[in-house]
Amino acid sequence: MSQDPWNEPDLARNYIREMEATVRGHVRVHVLHQHLLEHLPPAPATVLDVGGGAGHQSFPLAEAGYDVTILDPSAPMLERARQRLQQLPTDARNRVTLVEGNGLHAQEAVGGRRFDAVLCHGMLGYLEDPEPLVDQLSRCAAPGGLVSIMTGDAKTLATRPAMEQRWTEALAAFDTTYAEVRELGVRGRSDTVEGLSGLLRDRGMDPVDWYGVWLFVDLLTFGGVTLDLADAEQIAAVELEASRRDPYRGMSRVFHLIARHQPIG
Protein backbone atom coordinates (compact mmCIF):
# COMPACT_ATOMS: atom_id res chain seq x y z
CA MET A 1 0.00 0.00 0.00
CA SER A 2 1.21 3.48 -0.85
CA GLN A 3 1.53 6.06 1.91
CA ASP A 4 -0.26 8.44 -0.47
CA PRO A 5 -2.44 6.39 -2.86
CA TRP A 6 -4.89 9.17 -3.61
CA ASN A 7 -2.55 11.00 -5.98
CA GLU A 8 -3.33 8.26 -8.52
CA PRO A 9 -5.86 9.86 -10.94
CA ASP A 10 -7.70 6.59 -11.58
CA LEU A 11 -8.20 5.99 -7.86
CA ALA A 12 -9.50 9.52 -7.38
CA ARG A 13 -11.92 9.16 -10.30
CA ASN A 14 -13.19 5.81 -9.06
CA TYR A 15 -13.72 7.21 -5.57
CA ILE A 16 -15.60 10.25 -6.87
CA ARG A 17 -17.85 8.00 -8.96
CA GLU A 18 -18.48 5.74 -5.96
CA MET A 19 -19.53 8.71 -3.83
CA GLU A 20 -21.66 10.50 -6.43
CA ALA A 21 -23.25 7.81 -8.56
CA THR A 22 -23.91 4.78 -6.34
CA VAL A 23 -26.30 3.80 -3.57
CA ARG A 24 -23.27 2.86 -1.50
CA GLY A 25 -21.91 6.41 -1.71
CA HIS A 26 -25.27 7.91 -0.81
CA VAL A 27 -25.61 5.60 2.20
CA ARG A 28 -22.15 6.45 3.48
CA VAL A 29 -22.73 10.20 3.39
CA HIS A 30 -26.20 9.99 4.95
CA VAL A 31 -25.33 7.52 7.72
CA LEU A 32 -22.12 9.25 8.81
CA HIS A 33 -23.76 12.68 8.65
CA GLN A 34 -26.49 11.57 11.05
CA HIS A 35 -23.92 10.06 13.41
CA LEU A 36 -21.92 13.29 13.38
CA LEU A 37 -24.93 15.49 14.07
CA GLU A 38 -25.61 13.43 17.20
CA HIS A 39 -22.16 14.26 18.62
CA LEU A 40 -20.87 17.50 17.13
CA PRO A 41 -21.06 20.70 19.15
CA PRO A 42 -23.46 23.27 17.71
CA ALA A 43 -22.52 25.22 14.58
CA PRO A 44 -20.44 27.24 13.87
CA ALA A 45 -17.96 24.82 15.46
CA THR A 46 -14.78 24.13 13.48
CA VAL A 47 -14.28 20.85 11.60
CA LEU A 48 -11.10 19.46 10.03
CA ASP A 49 -11.74 16.71 7.47
CA VAL A 50 -8.44 14.81 7.02
CA GLY A 51 -8.46 13.06 3.66
CA GLY A 52 -11.74 14.84 3.00
CA GLY A 53 -11.33 14.56 -0.77
CA ALA A 54 -14.06 16.25 -2.78
CA GLY A 55 -16.02 17.30 0.30
CA HIS A 56 -18.80 14.74 0.09
CA GLN A 57 -18.91 14.32 3.88
CA SER A 58 -17.98 17.81 5.03
CA PHE A 59 -19.86 20.02 2.57
CA PRO A 60 -23.20 19.03 4.18
CA LEU A 61 -21.69 20.18 7.49
CA ALA A 62 -20.79 23.53 5.93
CA GLU A 63 -24.39 23.83 4.72
CA ALA A 64 -25.48 23.13 8.31
CA GLY A 65 -23.39 26.08 9.53
CA TYR A 66 -20.06 24.48 10.44
CA ASP A 67 -16.67 26.02 9.62
CA VAL A 68 -14.99 23.30 7.54
CA THR A 69 -11.36 22.76 6.52
CA ILE A 70 -10.62 19.92 4.08
CA LEU A 71 -7.06 18.59 4.13
CA ASP A 72 -6.21 16.25 1.28
CA PRO A 73 -3.00 15.31 -0.59
CA SER A 74 -4.71 14.59 -3.91
CA ALA A 75 -4.81 17.33 -6.54
CA PRO A 76 -7.59 15.54 -8.52
CA MET A 77 -9.73 15.24 -5.40
CA LEU A 78 -9.28 18.89 -4.45
CA GLU A 79 -10.07 19.96 -7.99
CA ARG A 80 -13.37 18.10 -7.76
CA ALA A 81 -13.93 19.76 -4.38
CA ARG A 82 -13.48 23.19 -5.99
CA GLN A 83 -16.00 22.27 -8.68
CA ARG A 84 -18.54 21.04 -6.15
CA LEU A 85 -17.93 24.05 -3.93
CA GLN A 86 -19.41 26.31 -6.60
CA GLN A 87 -22.71 24.48 -6.23
CA LEU A 88 -23.07 25.43 -2.55
CA PRO A 89 -24.93 28.51 -1.35
CA THR A 90 -22.63 31.51 -0.89
CA ASP A 91 -22.75 31.44 2.92
CA ALA A 92 -21.82 27.73 3.02
CA ARG A 93 -19.11 28.22 0.39
CA ASN A 94 -17.53 30.93 2.55
CA ARG A 95 -17.27 28.48 5.44
CA VAL A 96 -15.06 26.00 3.51
CA THR A 97 -11.26 26.07 3.29
CA LEU A 98 -9.30 23.66 1.07
CA VAL A 99 -5.73 22.73 2.04
CA GLU A 100 -3.46 20.46 0.01
CA GLY A 101 -1.42 18.33 2.39
CA ASN A 102 -0.84 14.86 3.80
CA GLY A 103 -2.74 13.72 6.87
CA LEU A 104 0.50 12.29 8.26
CA HIS A 105 1.60 15.93 8.65
CA ALA A 106 -1.82 17.37 9.45
CA GLN A 107 -0.75 19.46 12.44
CA GLU A 108 1.90 21.24 10.39
CA ALA A 109 -0.37 21.59 7.34
CA VAL A 110 -2.99 23.51 9.34
CA GLY A 111 -0.41 25.65 11.12
CA GLY A 112 -0.96 24.10 14.54
CA ARG A 113 -4.63 25.06 14.61
CA ARG A 114 -6.88 22.85 16.72
CA PHE A 115 -10.47 22.02 15.81
CA ASP A 116 -13.71 21.20 17.58
CA ALA A 117 -13.95 18.04 15.47
CA VAL A 118 -11.47 16.10 13.33
CA LEU A 119 -12.81 13.66 10.74
CA CYS A 120 -10.87 10.86 9.07
CA HIS A 121 -13.17 8.64 7.03
CA GLY A 122 -11.75 5.83 4.93
CA MET A 123 -8.05 6.71 5.05
CA LEU A 124 -6.67 4.67 7.94
CA GLY A 125 -6.88 1.34 6.11
CA TYR A 126 -4.60 2.53 3.32
CA LEU A 127 -1.65 2.91 5.72
CA GLU A 128 0.59 0.07 6.91
CA ASP A 129 0.76 1.59 10.41
CA PRO A 130 -2.28 3.47 11.75
CA GLU A 131 -0.52 5.06 14.73
CA PRO A 132 1.15 8.08 13.05
CA LEU A 133 -2.15 9.19 11.53
CA VAL A 134 -4.10 8.60 14.75
CA ASP A 135 -1.46 10.67 16.52
CA GLN A 136 -1.97 13.56 14.08
CA LEU A 137 -5.75 13.40 14.42
CA SER A 138 -5.53 13.65 18.20
CA ARG A 139 -3.04 16.53 18.00
CA CYS A 140 -5.42 18.50 15.78
CA ALA A 141 -8.40 18.08 18.13
CA ALA A 142 -9.00 20.86 20.64
CA PRO A 143 -9.47 19.96 24.32
CA GLY A 144 -12.96 18.51 24.55
CA GLY A 145 -13.09 18.15 20.76
CA LEU A 146 -14.13 15.08 18.78
CA VAL A 147 -12.22 12.68 16.56
CA SER A 148 -14.32 10.71 14.07
CA ILE A 149 -12.75 7.72 12.28
CA MET A 150 -14.33 5.39 9.74
CA THR A 151 -12.34 2.31 8.79
CA GLY A 152 -12.61 -1.37 7.87
CA ASP A 153 -13.54 -3.90 10.54
CA ALA A 154 -11.02 -6.74 10.82
CA LYS A 155 -13.67 -8.93 12.44
CA THR A 156 -15.80 -9.12 9.30
CA LEU A 157 -13.18 -9.55 6.57
CA ALA A 158 -14.61 -12.91 5.54
CA THR A 159 -17.92 -11.32 4.46
CA ARG A 160 -17.05 -10.21 0.95
CA PRO A 161 -15.20 -13.32 -0.26
CA ALA A 162 -17.91 -15.51 1.28
CA MET A 163 -20.70 -13.56 -0.44
CA GLU A 164 -18.78 -13.91 -3.69
CA GLN A 165 -18.34 -17.67 -3.02
CA ARG A 166 -14.56 -17.48 -2.84
CA TRP A 167 -14.42 -19.98 -0.01
CA THR A 168 -10.65 -20.46 0.31
CA GLU A 169 -10.13 -16.71 0.62
CA ALA A 170 -13.04 -16.41 3.04
CA LEU A 171 -11.51 -19.03 5.32
CA ALA A 172 -8.14 -17.27 5.30
CA ALA A 173 -9.79 -13.91 6.08
CA PHE A 174 -10.71 -14.99 9.61
CA ASP A 175 -7.08 -14.73 10.69
CA THR A 176 -5.84 -11.55 9.02
CA THR A 177 -6.24 -7.79 9.25
CA TYR A 178 -5.72 -7.38 5.49
CA ALA A 179 -8.51 -7.46 2.95
CA GLU A 180 -8.06 -8.44 -0.65
CA VAL A 181 -8.10 -5.66 -3.24
CA ARG A 182 -11.03 -3.44 -2.31
CA GLU A 183 -13.73 -1.88 -4.43
CA LEU A 184 -11.44 0.97 -5.49
CA GLY A 185 -8.64 -1.36 -6.60
CA VAL A 186 -6.28 -0.95 -3.62
CA ARG A 187 -5.47 -3.60 -1.03
CA GLY A 188 -6.40 -2.43 2.43
CA ARG A 189 -5.76 -3.06 6.11
CA SER A 190 -8.48 -3.22 8.74
CA ASP A 191 -8.76 -2.45 12.45
CA THR A 192 -10.99 -3.41 15.36
CA VAL A 193 -13.08 -1.12 17.51
CA GLU A 194 -11.17 -2.30 20.57
CA GLY A 195 -7.73 -1.84 19.02
CA LEU A 196 -8.43 1.60 17.62
CA SER A 197 -10.07 2.66 20.88
CA GLY A 198 -6.85 1.71 22.65
CA LEU A 199 -4.75 3.83 20.29
CA LEU A 200 -7.02 6.79 20.93
CA ARG A 201 -6.94 6.34 24.70
CA ASP A 202 -3.14 6.33 24.58
CA ARG A 203 -3.38 9.82 23.06
CA GLY A 204 -5.77 11.32 25.57
CA MET A 205 -9.00 10.48 23.73
CA ASP A 206 -12.06 8.89 25.33
CA PRO A 207 -14.11 6.68 22.95
CA VAL A 208 -17.72 7.87 23.01
CA ASP A 209 -19.59 5.48 20.71
CA TRP A 210 -19.23 3.38 17.59
CA TYR A 211 -21.47 2.39 14.70
CA GLY A 212 -21.61 0.23 11.61
CA VAL A 213 -21.70 1.91 8.20
CA TRP A 214 -22.73 -0.51 5.43
CA LEU A 215 -24.49 -3.82 6.03
CA PHE A 216 -27.34 -4.74 3.69
CA VAL A 217 -25.90 -2.69 0.82
CA ASP A 218 -22.68 -4.71 0.92
CA LEU A 219 -24.39 -8.07 1.37
CA LEU A 220 -26.67 -7.42 -1.58
CA THR A 221 -23.97 -5.96 -3.83
CA PHE A 222 -21.48 -8.75 -3.18
CA GLY A 223 -24.31 -11.23 -3.66
CA GLY A 224 -24.76 -9.94 -7.21
CA VAL A 225 -27.73 -7.59 -6.71
CA THR A 226 -27.77 -4.24 -8.53
CA LEU A 227 -29.24 -1.54 -6.30
CA ASP A 228 -31.43 1.21 -7.76
CA LEU A 229 -30.52 4.83 -6.97
CA ALA A 230 -34.25 5.56 -6.87
CA ASP A 231 -34.35 3.53 -3.64
CA ALA A 232 -31.33 5.26 -2.09
CA GLU A 233 -33.21 7.26 0.57
CA GLN A 234 -35.16 4.25 1.82
CA ILE A 235 -32.03 2.10 1.84
CA ALA A 236 -30.12 4.79 3.76
CA ALA A 237 -32.88 4.94 6.39
CA VAL A 238 -32.62 1.17 6.94
CA GLU A 239 -28.82 1.30 7.03
CA LEU A 240 -28.91 4.11 9.61
CA GLU A 241 -31.02 2.03 11.95
CA ALA A 242 -28.77 -1.00 11.44
CA SER A 243 -25.69 1.12 12.11
CA ARG A 244 -26.89 1.91 15.65
CA ARG A 245 -28.20 -1.47 16.75
CA ASP A 246 -26.73 -4.75 17.89
CA PRO A 247 -26.12 -7.22 16.39
CA TYR A 248 -26.26 -5.38 13.07
CA ARG A 249 -23.54 -2.80 13.67
CA GLY A 250 -21.04 -5.57 14.48
CA MET A 251 -21.86 -7.34 11.22
CA SER A 252 -20.88 -4.38 9.03
CA ARG A 253 -17.60 -4.48 7.11
CA VAL A 254 -16.83 -0.92 8.19
CA PHE A 255 -17.20 0.82 11.55
CA HIS A 256 -17.41 4.46 12.61
CA LEU A 257 -15.77 5.33 15.93
CA ILE A 258 -16.15 8.67 17.71
CA ALA A 259 -13.88 9.75 20.55
CA ARG A 260 -13.58 12.93 22.59
CA HIS A 261 -10.34 14.68 23.51
CA GLN A 262 -9.98 14.87 27.26
CA PRO A 263 -10.34 18.48 28.40
CA ILE A 264 -7.38 20.06 30.16
CA GLY A 265 -7.76 20.41 33.93
What's the average pLDDT block by block, 10 residues per block, for the chain (265 residues)?
Answer: 54 80 94 98 98 95 98 93 96 98 97 98 91 98 97 94 93 82 69 97 97 96 94 98 98 97 74
The parent domain of residue 143 ranges over 5-261
The pLDDT, as a whole number, for residue 14 is 78
For residues 113 and 139, what is the distance between their CA atoms, to the nearest angstrom? Answer: 9
Closest CA to 211 of 249, 248, 185, 253: 249
Tell me whether residue 194 is exposed, middle or buried, using C-beta atoms within 10 angstroms of its C-beta: 0 to 12, 13 to 18, 19 or more: exposed
Q: Long-range contacts: 79-85, Cβ < 8 Å, 24+? A: 80/12, 80/16, 80/53, 80/54, 81/52, 81/53, 81/54, 81/55, 84/54, 84/55, 84/59, 85/55, 85/59
For residues 133 and 139, what is the distance between their CA atoms, to the nearest angstrom? Answer: 10
List the CATH number of the domain containing 46.
Answer: 3.40.50.150
For residues 70 and 39, what is the distance between their CA atoms, to the nearest angstrom? Answer: 19
The pLDDT, as a whole number, for residue 6 is 52
The pLDDT, as a whole number, for residue 265 is 54
Closest CA to 78 of 52, 60, 105, 111: 52
Q: How many helices (H) and strands (E) does the chain have?
A: 13, 9
The pLDDT, as a whole number, for residue 3 is 46
Number of domains comprising the chain: 1
